[in-house]
Structure formats: structure tokens, C-alpha cells
Structure 1
Amino acid sequence: MQENETVEFKKSLSQLKAGLVSIAAILNKHGAGTLWFGMSNDGKAVGLEANEKTLRDLSQSIAAHIEPRIFPHVS
């Protein structure tokens, strides 16, 4: 798997702000896309520990910062 115009990788949730900018750009250009956390830029899984609260917070953060509002699938 590799990054392209509709797929973006971020190593950790500390890159959430950059991820939000990326997904907004992807949505503006293509209308849909995928943002992966726990992946290096070369497409290798580096892992990410996330519990239910972390996933819920991530989903809410994405929904709160993207207009028009989207309802992301976070798993």
C-alpha cells in the first residue's frame, strides 16, 4: 500500500492536525479518501495502540473540524 491522492499515512495521533488538513484536501478534490494512522510514509505499519475512547475522540475530532460535516468510519 502506498500514499496517493486519496490515501494519506500518519505515524501517530500526534499528527492529527496534519491529518485533518490532508483529509480536508482529499475530500475537497476527490469527495472521499482514507487517512491511516499508525503507518509510515512508505506504507509500513508502525502500529498504534488505541482504545475505544481514543477511536471515539478521533472520530469526533474529525467530524468537528471538517465542513461540511462528515461522519468518518474509524476502526
Structure 2
Amino acid sequence: MLLNNSVAIVTGGSRGIGRGICLELARAGAKVVVNYAGHAEKAEETVRLIQEIGGNAIAVQGDVSKKEDVARLISTT
């Protein structure tokens, strides 16, 4: 567990490569924040997959090109 007590924010973490990165970070011990812009169901599915392998994750919606969304993303974690 290389990343115990770490928090990893993964933008675009709801599917594809982002989902794979989320899963690997969770396997390494990080608490994962799955950031998504518009695929809530996919983000929640990623969270569920992480929990199934014993990891800790939350999904947070936000557009990282918008300053206020980034601020909310950071404050949520």
C-alpha cells in the first residue's frame, strides 16, 4: 500500500482510462475522488467498483475548466 492516507482526485474518472487510473490508485491505498462532468451513473459505477475491491471513493461532479467547480471539488475532498 504505497498511497495510504493519500487522496487522489481523478478528473474524467468515470470511464475509460480515468476509471482504470481510479482503480489502480485505490489498489495502491489512496482514497479516490472520481470527478466527472456529465456521466453520474458511470462515476457511481466506478465508486462501486472501488468499494468492491476494498477501497474508499466518492464521486464529485464538476467541470474543471470552471474555477468555481474546481473550488467545490477541492472543498469536498
Give TM class, smaller chain.
0.3 to 0.5
- The TM-score normalised by the length of structure 2 is 0.42
Q: If each structure's strand is expressed as a fraction of its own residues, which one has the higher value?
A: 2
